[in-house]
Amino acid sequence: MDKKEFRKQAHQMVDWMADYLETKDSFHVSPKINPGEIYHQIPEMAPEEGEDYDAIFKDFKDIILPGMTHWQHPSFFGYFPANNSEPSILAEMLTATLGAQCMSWITSPAATELEERVLEWMRDAKGICSTWKGVIQDTASTATLSAILAARERACSYSINENGYSGREKFRVYSSEHVHSSIDKALKISGIGQSNLVRIAVDKTYAMRPADLEKAIQEDIINGFTPLCVVSALGTTSSTAIDPIKRIGEICQMYNIWHHIDAAFAGTALFLPECQWMIEGHETADSYVFNPHKWMFTNFDCSVLYLKNPHFLVNTFSLTPEYLKSNMDAEVNNYRDWGIQLGRRFRALKLWFVLRSYGLIGIRAKLRHHLALAKTLIMEMEAHHDIEILAPVPLNTICFRYNPTSRYTLDELNYINEKWMNLVNQSGRVFFTHTKLEGKFAIRWVIGQTDVEDFHIKEAWNLLLHKLPDAKPYVKE
Ligand code: PLP
């Protein structure tokens, strides 16, 4: 493709993108596709000859698009959102155009310095300690793994980095029983071992019980383990329960344990002063992660890790072979030393665009809008005698189920609710996912899409009511 053709195609594509964004709620949220259906439409061999761009773009529309789940659909209520926004998309286009590799200051000084500055902006706007420093990672999974590796190396004076495990280390990591699977994965990868994740019981709000945490730590010490890290959740994945950060932090300090706060989804709420109580006491923690790619209108991927003492991270990851050395190294920040990967995308650009385009006032307004929509919906649900809300709703994730009478067993109710959710999802108008809370099948309704409005919520609620399983005697098919 020559530059002239690029210009022509790019203009047309931007028109297509704008059309898509304007009409995204007319698509089926999730595709009706059988496994293999897309795969078999794609030729078995790569083309020998270059193809015409029109043909490529036609296949994108005819083959790929029908197999997409529309994550930006305002009625996508499943998992956590990966919401984007127009300024973020524009920045991504620039990032791709510049094609910069931002591993070191010298490889793109603006990328490093913009990253430093926007992370300071967000840190200050969110009420995080002004001395903490941040780095952008691809995902919260990577950021948490990085924090756990840094905790591991701090605890053993970098001896595992140097010599590998000696066999004497018996580390333990603690989290609530509602921990995200990325913590399990971090223990698998770091050599600590998944069996050394101690899952602490939760209270009736599904938040970690600090007294149980302390008891587990004391027992582990008696049994010869080294308590290494506590991962507290500022917003669990199932129900956005908020662990008591301050009390957990005090326990970590008492036993010299790294405290990592996983705020992957809910961390965006800290832009609201009225939500900053959630992070009260974080000053004693060591690290904190949140994903702008979930609820901050910033394209996937973009995860931000803040650290009280970044040198633990840098000492864990830093490596400077000859070919990466520069005469500026003593004066500058080389983000390649702040994580696992060497090559780095220019992710700060989209954060900068989003922050400047919305302004903090605009971001807060959007978040408050989502919280208000959730509040109104909760009132509707509470007024319905057959709907049960299964967990407190500190933000915008509502876990609910149909529970008409006490006539059904737990298994029957789980079956009925799963069927109900699938039926509603099959309509293509909405998309919900589920979790289990104390064995109860709970449909999760997360209201965090960039363009979600009251009428999307009303339509989804009416659809749910329309498909409500009637109260006939239960018969399993
Ligand atoms: N932590 C929590 C609490 C999450 O909810 C999630 C994802 O939903 C993650 C971590 C993992 O996020 P990522 O996909 O960025 O690795």
- Does residue 120 sit in the same domain as residue 25? no
**Residue 57 belongs to a domain:** no
- Does residue 399 sit in the same domain as residue 461? yes
Neighbours of 214 (CB within 10 A): 18
Please tell me the distance from the alpha carbon of residue 360 to that of residue 3, in angstroms, as a whole number: 38
For residue 301, whether the previous peptide bond is cis, meaning omega lies within 30 degrees of 0, is: yes
**Residue 53 belongs to a domain:** no
* pTM for the whole structure: 0.95
Q: Are the CB atoms for 354 and 85 separated by under 8 Å?
A: yes
Q: What percent of the chain has pLDDT over 90?
A: 95
Q: Are the CB atoms for 137 and 304 separated by under 8 Å?
A: yes
The reply to whether ligand 1 has any atom less than 6 angstroms from the CB of 196 is no
Distance of CA 226 to the CA centre of its chain: 29
The angle, 0 to 180 degrees and rounded to 10, between the axes of the packed helices 210-222 and 245-254 is 20
Is 107 in a helix, a strand, or coil?
helix
pLDDT bucket at 470, cuts 50 / 70 / 90: low
The pLDDT assigned to 404 comes to 87
**Domain end (from 345, 379, 412):** 345
What one-letter code names the amino acid at 349?
Answer: L
The pLDDT assigned to 469 comes to 79
**Residue 179 belongs to a domain:** yes
Q: In this structure, are strands 440-446 and 397-402 parallel, antiparallel, or unpaired? A: antiparallel
Q: Are the CB atoms for 349 and 114 separated by under 8 Å?
A: yes
**Index of the ligand 1 atom closest to the CA of residue 138:** 15
Is 377 in a helix, a strand, or coil?
helix
User: In whole numbers, what is the pLDDT of the chain averaged over residues?
Assistant: 96
Q: Count structural domains, the chain.
A: 2
Please tell me the distance from the alpha carbon of residue 444 to that of residue 439, in angstroms, as a whole number: 14
Q: How many CA atoms lie within 13 A of 295 on its CB side?
A: 30
Neighbours of 59 (CB within 10 A): 15
Beta bridge partners of 200: 176
Q: Cα(136) to centroid of ligand 1, in Å?
A: 15
**Domain end (from 345, 370, 388):** 345
- The CA-atom distances, in angstroms, between 135 and each of 144, 209, 289, 343, 386 are 12, 30, 10, 14, 47
Three-state secondary structure string covering 382-412: HHCCCEEECCCCCCCEEEEEECCCCCCCHHH
Q: Cα(180) to centroid of ligand 1, in Å?
A: 7
- Does residue 128 sit in the same domain as residue 237? yes
| Pocket perturbation via mutation, ligand 1, pick of 291, 302, 304, 444 by most ligand atoms within 8 A of CB | 291
**Domain end (from 281, 312, 345):** 345
Q: Are the CB atoms for 300 and 306 separated by under 8 Å?
A: no
Question: Which residue has its alpha carbon closest to ligand 1 atom 2?
Answer: 264
Q: Are the CB atoms for 314 and 153 separated by under 8 Å?
A: no
Question: What CATH number is given to the structural domain containing 232?
Answer: 3.40.640.10
- Does residue 220 sit in the same domain as residue 292? yes
Q: What is the pLDDT of residues 194-204, one digit of tens each?
A: 999 999 999 99
Residues whose CB falls within 8 Å of the CB of residue 311, separated by 6 or more in sequence, listed in order: none
- Does residue 76 sit in the same domain as residue 129? no
Of 71 and 167, the structure prediction assigns the larger pLDDT to 71
Q: What is the pLDDT of residues 327-350, one digit of tens each?
A: 999 999 999 999 999 999 999 999
**Residue 467 belongs to a domain:** yes
- Does residue 392 sit in the same domain as residue 315? no
Average pLDDT estimate for 444-471: 92
Structure token pair of residue 396: 């915008």
The reply to whether ligand 1 has any atom less than 6 angstroms from the CB of 444 is no
Task: Kindly state the helix (H) or strand (E) to which residue 432 belongs, with its residue range.
Answer: none
pLDDT bucket at 473, cuts 50 / 70 / 90: very low
Structure token pair of residue 400: 């609910």
Helix/strand/coil percent split, the chain, to 5: 50, 15, 40
The pLDDT assigned to 472 comes to 53
Q: Cα(266) to centroid of ligand 1, in Å?
A: 10
- Does residue 123 sit in the same domain as residue 223? yes
DSSP one-letter string for 254-312 = HTT-EEEEE-TTGGGGGGSGGGGGGGTTGGG-SEEEE-HHHHSS--S--EEEEES-HHH
- Does residue 105 sit in the same domain as residue 139? yes
Is 173 in a helix, a strand, or coil?
strand
Is ipTM over 0.95?
A: yes
Per DSSP, helices labelled H in 27-108 are 53-59, 86-98
Please report where in the chains the tokens 């363009």 appear, as a residue: 451
Residues in the chain, overall count: 477
The reply to whether ligand 1 has any atom less than 6 angstroms from the CB of 242 is no
Res 477 pLDDT > 80: no
Q: What is the pLDDT of residues 48-104, one digit of tens each?
A: 999 999 999 999 999 999 999 999 999 999 999 999 999 999 999 999 999 999 999
Res 451 pLDDT > 90: yes
Average pLDDT estimate for 142-161: 96
Q: In this structure, are strands 197-200 and 387-389 parallel, antiparallel, or unpaired? A: unpaired
**Index of the ligand 1 atom closest to the CA of residue 265:** 5
- Does residue 332 sit in the same domain as residue 382? no
Indicate left, alpha or beta for 135 from its phi (over 0: left) and psi (-120 to 50: alpha).
beta
The pLDDT assigned to 476 comes to 54
Q: Cα(435) to centroid of ligand 1, in Å?
A: 15
The reply to whether ligand 1 has any atom less than 6 angstroms from the CB of 333 is no
**Index of the ligand 1 atom closest to the CA of residue 144:** 10
**Residue 397 belongs to a domain:** yes
**Residue 38 belongs to a domain:** no
Q: What is the pLDDT of residues 208-253, one digit of tens each?
A: 999 999 999 999 999 999 999 999 999 999 999 999 999 999 999 9
**Residue 41 belongs to a domain:** no
> What is the domain range of residue 77?
1-30+69-84+360-477
| Pocket perturbation via mutation, ligand 1, pick of 260, 265, 268, 296 by most ligand atoms within 8 A of CB | 265
- Does residue 289 sit in the same domain as residue 370? no
Please tell me the distance from the alpha carbon of residue 92 to that of residue 88, in angstroms, as a whole number: 6
Distance of CA 307 to the CA centre of its chain: 18
The reply to whether ligand 1 has any atom less than 6 angstroms from the CB of 140 is yes
Question: What CATH number is given to the structural domain containing 427?
Answer: 3.90.1150.170
- Does residue 78 sit in the same domain as residue 140? no
- Does residue 181 sit in the same domain as residue 276? yes
Q: Cα(370) to centroid of ligand 1, in Å?
A: 20
**Residue 25 belongs to a domain:** yes
Question: Which residue has its alpha carbon closest to ligand 1 atom 6?
Answer: 264
Q: Cα(380) to centroid of ligand 1, in Å?
A: 29
Q: Cα(140) to centroid of ligand 1, in Å?
A: 5
